[in-house]
A and B are shown apart, each in its own frame.
Chain A
Amino acid sequence: MQNIKEYQLIIVGGGPAGLAAAISAAKSGLSEILIIERDKYLGGILNQCIHNGFGLHYFKEELTGPEYSKRFIDLLSENKIEVALDTMALNLENTEDWRYVHVMSSSDGYRVLRSKALILAMGCRERTRMNIQIPGTRAAGIFNAGQAQLYVNLEGYMVGKKVIILGSGDVGLIMARRMTLEGAEVVACVEVMPYPGGLNRNIVQCLQDFNIPLYLSHTITDIKGRNRVEQVTVQEVDQFGKPVAGTEIYYDVDTVLLSVGLIPENELSREAGVEIDPRTSGPMVYENKETRSKGVFACGNVLHVHDLVDFVTEEGESAGHAAACFVQDGGCVTEDANIISIKTDSNIGYTVPQQIRVDDVEKAVRVFFRVRKIFKEPSRIVFRDQSNAEIASFKRPFMFPAEMENVNLPRQLLDKISGTELTVSVEE
């Protein structure tokens, strides 16, 4: 390999996570930073999110997706951050001293780059109709909600006239409203779980305000239509998710939009040997977003699927800062750091980070997680160590799986832990 171009930091992905990471790394004193983006524009999925509601936490104001990302894009040049657009990262390789990235583009051809630190910020993709194995025909008119959003918002094309939505994830809810505003009839939103998949504000603003019914514990069990969708069958499901005979409802629609979950895009990470947590489908990370592969960090939806971009930004900043520390002084962490693993009880799906190097925590570490069922009554999130001593507890009036939770664990509490494990549970 000849003419390998070198950087201090390469960031794969120019969406909100990658942008925040780049700026944060620059502000932490790092130079020679490159963002690799496969699209022709920076901003990632925010480009097609023309609705408002972004930035309430971070900027304390309501922005549209493109407005939100522009605030970061505008800071790139003053921070001397290099950007390679329309460029695809094909392979990652991790060695002791360097992270290698094979990239390709029309303008610069096939190149091998390397950097001291690497940040994974590739985002996520939508689960498809085939992933969830809905039987029926393979007619046109079945779209992932995000794909339909791209057609409608970026390309100016309508994808259907009479629409049913499967899954109550946020993109699906947003598209229910968007399609209605564009003159389509949205007949129903159908959710297989007994609770909604998206934020409550979207249930209200996108379904209830437009009188679109939401059927919980229902799913689509058949799709008919030889060339274009003509009819779908909706059925109630039992507690095991099995369709209940006799509950069939038939809808004559020409379009099915799917909002049935997002999958972190970790194909590159896996090939590079980055250890993946099966619960998040994202890399296992420490408190500073460093993966188990030295010098490789992760943030945003590639790490775990978020519902608010504000937290993606925060995570990106954390990863960017940590990557800068890593390059400047070989990492913030002492080699023999005291490592604590966070375990979860059955009420909690996962945590990010999965492990904490206590000595690396300056003031506090923010732990993100999702609950696995609805808690309507006030309950406590409790952290216990291996001696079953309560280390910290946090009250919540209610909790929903759709809304990511987070708590701050102060350093002085972490120092009190006996053993190497911390278990987080929900106590009602």
Chain B
Amino acid sequence: MFDVIIIGAGVIGCATAYELSQFDLNVLLLDKENDVSLGASRANTAIVHGGYDPDPATLMGKYNVRGAKRCMELVNTLDVEFKKTGSLIIALDENDLKTLDKYYERGLLNGVEGMEMLDSEETRKREPNLSEEVIGALWIPESGVINPWEFTISMAEVAVREGVKLELNQKVIDIDKKSDHYLVKTETDQFQTKYVVNAAGVYSDQIHNMVAEPAFKINPTRGQYYLLDRSAGETVKTVIFPCPTELTKGILVSPTIHENILVGPDAETVSDPEDTSTTREVLGLVAREAQRSVPSLNFRNNIRNYSGIRANSDYNDFFVKISAPKFLDLAAIKSPGLTCAPIIAEEGIKLLAQEGLELNKKDKWDGTRKIIRFKEIPKAERADFIKENPEYGRIICRCEHITEGEIVAAIHRGLPIFSLDAIKRRAGSGLGRCQGGFCGPRVQEIIARETGVSPLDILLNKTGSYILVGQTKNAESED
């Protein structure tokens, strides 16, 4: 019998597992995929938002500034890539200026610190590549860009190291309420637990409906993106937002922690929450919209298009509630969900405590994580470091300069590894301009060697994404 089962290992589920791991509890984290962070936490805009736009009356408004502060602490605690870039919300006409005023007011109510209204000259001084049409901007210093999947994975890694059990490839199909516990059924197993946390992202309405009357409906919303090569240079240094609309914060142009430029997303309601394909029409629209803010963007520098599905809903806020006895919804988490994740987890755990969950701190708990990134080792120290750790002397990913040592370390941090993309998300290999063309086969070889499986069984990404179909005729006859 588990004390708590968390359904969904995205940023919300992993943040909850991380926070719960400091208590003397038997916790199980479930996910339907073969890795953590494979839903909205994988494909999003990778921003720690400043908190200028959510309605102050909502949880989004209440959590945002706290969340941003907590994220900026956690990136140090967990050694997660983060850059405090600040954001500019730009105005292209008089209407936009009114919107900026509104957001300034909202920002004040939400507790946003350091906001400044800039005129066109001041704006373009900060960002010379902005359109000449820009007539002003709102500057939000307390915001930045983060590696969202590393953030999620790091919390899962610490949680697992500190005793949380993780089960992957476990899709929850039903939850039975028993007299003193819940029975959580997956396609292959069933688990008993006293408490359930629903952190199922785009499926959080379905999980909710397994134990309670429908209270909200998820409208899976797809957004498409471009990632431009770093040879595009420092096109922008800060996150550039146009004025938001009801559906989206607008097509933004943002630097990334890997010095690329990220452009997107649109907002399109889709019926299939797994349909993360991209389309010619929308990508064309995203490019045109982004060029209204930054006309010099060159989409020939594109190194990747992707889309992510966010859990927008008909409930105009995060759904953070006890919906049945000992059943906690951390549901309908849309933007700024990544920023608010640590707070959603903290507040959720308070609600569990009110439901009777006993929170006794462990005598020993280490909430920190530290990893080696070869790039960050000063040149003068590299020779000595490689002498001690020869695997860090071999570059595997040529574009991003990721070493074998970093890849091997990522494989052995406690979470099972099934795919090349799992390593991409942990070590950064394959994120660059050749998109794994060179390093893919090498990473496959290293995973096979380190985990003792055949290269044939190593996937590109999710279950079913096999790369190889068998041996060649020659190789077969040699066996």
Binding site for B on A (CB under 8 A): 38, 86, 88, 90, 102, 104-111, 125-126, 128-131, 133, 135-141, 144, 146-147, 150-152, 155-161, 182-183, 221-224, 226-228, 243, 254, 267, 270
In angstroms, Cα B467 to Cα A157, docked, is 10
Query: What chain A residues lie within 8 Å of B441 (beta carbons)?
Result: 147, 150-151, 155
In angstroms, Cα B474 to Cα A182, docked, is 9
In angstroms, Cα B386 to Cα A140, docked, is 34
Within 8 A of A (CB), among B167-219: none
Whose C-beta in chain A lies nearest to the C-beta of B473?
A182
Q: Are A140 and B465 in contact (CB under 8 A)?
A: yes
Is B277 an interface residue, CB under 8 A from the partner? yes
Q: Are A137 and B276 in contact (CB under 8 A)?
A: yes
In angstroms, Cα B304 to Cα A159, docked, is 22
Query: What chain B residues lie within 8 Å of A228 (beta carbons)?
Result: 464-466
In the assembled complex, 29 residue pairs joining A and B whose CB atoms fall closer than 8 Å, in A order, are A38-B395, A88-B395, A88-B401, A105-B393, A107-B390, A126-B434, A126-B437, A128-B434, A130-B302, A130-B435, A135-B277, A135-B278, A135-B305, A139-B460, A140-B465, A141-B467, A147-B437, A151-B468, A152-B472, A156-B474, A156-B475, A157-B468, A158-B468, A158-B472, A182-B472, A227-B462, A227-B463, A227-B464, A227-B466
Query: What chain A residues lie within 8 Å of B434 (beta carbons)?
Result: 125-126, 128
Query: What chain A residues lie within 8 Å of B394 (beta carbons)?
Result: 86, 88, 105-106
Whose C-beta in chain A lies nearest to the C-beta of B226?
A133
Task: Take A131-B303, A133-B302 as given contacts and tell me if A157 and B475 are in contact as well, using a CB distance cutoff of 8 Å.
Answer: yes
Task: Take A221-B280, A228-B466 as given contacts and tell me if A107 and B435 are in contact as well, using a CB distance cutoff of 8 Å.
Answer: no
Q: Are A159 and B467 in contact (CB under 8 A)?
A: yes
Q: Are A106 and B390 in contact (CB under 8 A)?
A: yes
Q: Are B387 and A106 in contact (CB under 8 A)?
A: no
CB-contact partner of A137 in B277, B404, B440, B474, under 8 A: B277
Task: Take A130-B435, A131-B303 as given contacts and tell me if A109 and B383 are in contact as well, using a CB distance cutoff of 8 Å.
Answer: yes
In angstroms, Cα B420 to Cα A151, docked, is 15
Interface size range of chain B in the complex: 35 or more
Whose C-beta in chain B lies nearest to the C-beta of A146?
B437
Q: Are B280 and A158 in contact (CB under 8 A)?
A: no
In angstroms, Cα B231 to Cα A130, docked, is 16
Interface of A, helix, strand, loop or mixed by DSSP: mixed
Is B438 an interface residue, CB under 8 A from the partner? yes
Q: Are A128 and B465 in contact (CB under 8 A)?
A: no
In angstroms, Cα B465 to Cα A357, docked, is 55
Given A130-B302, A140-B466, 5 further pairs, Cβ under 8 A: A110-B382, A155-B441, A157-B455, A157-B470, A227-B464
Q: Are B438 and A160 in contact (CB under 8 A)?
A: no
Min CB distance, B202 to chain A, in Å?
15
Q: Are B471 and A140 in contact (CB under 8 A)?
A: no
Query: What chain B residues lie within 8 Å of A183 (beta carbons)?
Result: 473
Whose C-beta in chain B lies nearest to the C-beta of A40?
B394
Task: Take A133-B299, A138-B276, A140-B465 as given contacts and tell me if A104 and B437 are in contact as well, using a CB distance cutoff of 8 Å.
Answer: no
Query: What chain B residues lie within 8 Å of A182 (beta carbons)?
Result: 472-473
In angstroms, Cα B470 to Cα A183, docked, is 11
CB-contact partner of A226 in B303, B464, B474, under 8 A: B464
Is B461 an interface residue, CB under 8 A from the partner? yes
CB-contact partner of B469 in A86, A144, A161, A267, under 8 A: A161
Q: Are A106 and B393 in contact (CB under 8 A)?
A: yes
Query: What chain B residues lie within 8 Å of A223 (beta carbons)?
Result: 277
Min CB distance, B304 to chain A, in Å?
5
Is B20 an interface residue, CB under 8 A from the partner? no
